[in-house]
Amino acid sequence: MRAEVGPQTDAGVEQSAAPRTDADVPAFWRALGLPGLADIHIHFLPERVLDKVWGVFDTAEEHYGYPWPIQYRASEPERIALLRTMGVRGIPSLCYAHRPGMARWLNEWCTDFAARVPDAVHSGTFYAEPSCGDDVRDALDAGARLFKLHVQVGRLRPDDPVLDPAWGLLEDAQAPLVLHAGSAPRRGEHTGPEPVRELLRRHPRLVLVIAHMGMSEYTEFADLAAAHDGVHLDTTMVGTDFMERVAPFPREALDQVRDLGHKVVLGTDFPNIPYPYAHQLEALARWDMGDDWMRAVLWENGARLMGLSDPQV
């Protein structure tokens, strides 16, 4: 049986059990006194790109060695409506380029998404190519305030000098970037903490959100977060029953994550997850970090990074 949140909050007020279904999610964050959820790791992609991504997961046994059934294979309007029903406030598109010449049109699509989805978090991306500085500058000028880079899918080194113009612009703008640099669920040529450590040596003021808490190099990326003011960790898939079979979260890292509560950000990878959205919240709740930690992770840290306001203020 899965563990539930304790019956009392830090303030001694009755708290609801960890959510078992998506319908339970609003009661969970309301019991914590939150205005909703600030999920920094959500994907909305152009339809033909999303179809290819889902195609990879449909053949996951070939790529990863185990099945990965997509939980939320629905239309874009249906997926947006579901997030709103659960109380997710601020919807990133979080596109990422995996080859030269792709970033510009993805950023144009993200600009359109932000224009037609009122609660969108305008996102952008870039690739390791000479135009990366121009691509980031144009995205920032268009209103992008959150970026994404995927080391394994893009087969790129985050510390590649060709990327320096892009990193310099993001550093100056203090625009956060969700960086998938860990070596799970599939190791890449340039995954791992070392290229990120070198990147931060050259650009120490970057605001990075390490996707999946750096899975599977959890402790190494937590060390980077502890050492650099701008480095955060997102919770995407971490601690879930599915991922515990693939890249289990080490018990010795729990103290690191507890101490870094002001830098841990809710992420889920919706819609490309093989279990209900609620299970990510349930997985975090059974770590039993306390309500203040949960409030920071589920709302405060992500709201700060994405510029979301509390509707009650």
Q: How many CB atoms lie within 10 A of CB 101?
A: 10
What is the helix, strand, coil percentage profile of the chain, to 5?
Answer: 45, 10, 45
- What was the pLDDT predicted at 123? 98
**Identity at 134, one-letter amino acid code:** D
Looking at residue 186, its pLDDT comes to 84
Residue type, 247: A
- Spatial distance between the Cα atoms of 134 and 166, rounded to a whole number of angstroms: 8
Burial class (CB in 10 A: 0-12, 13-18, 19+), 193: buried
Distance CA 14, CA 9 (A): 6
Supply the pLDDT for residue 6.
Answer: 34
Q: Per-residue pLDDT for the chain (313 aa), expressed as one digit of tens each? A: 233 333 333 433 344 589 999 999 999 999 999 999 999 999 999 999 999 999 999 999 998 899 999 999 999 999 999 999 999 999 999 999 999 999 999 999 999 999 999 999 999 999 999 999 999 999 999 999 999 999 999 999 999 999 999 999 999 999 999 999 999 988 989 999 999 999 999 999 999 999 999 999 999 999 999 999 999 999 999 999 999 999 999 998 999 999 999 999 999 999 999 999 999 999 999 999 999 999 999 999 999 999 998 765 4
| Contacts for 108 with CB less than 8 Å, ≥ 6 apart | none
How many CA atoms are closer than 13 Å to the CA of 197, on its beta-carbon side? 11
pTM, rounded to two decimals: 0.93
Number of Cβ atoms within 10 Å of the Cβ of 28: 25
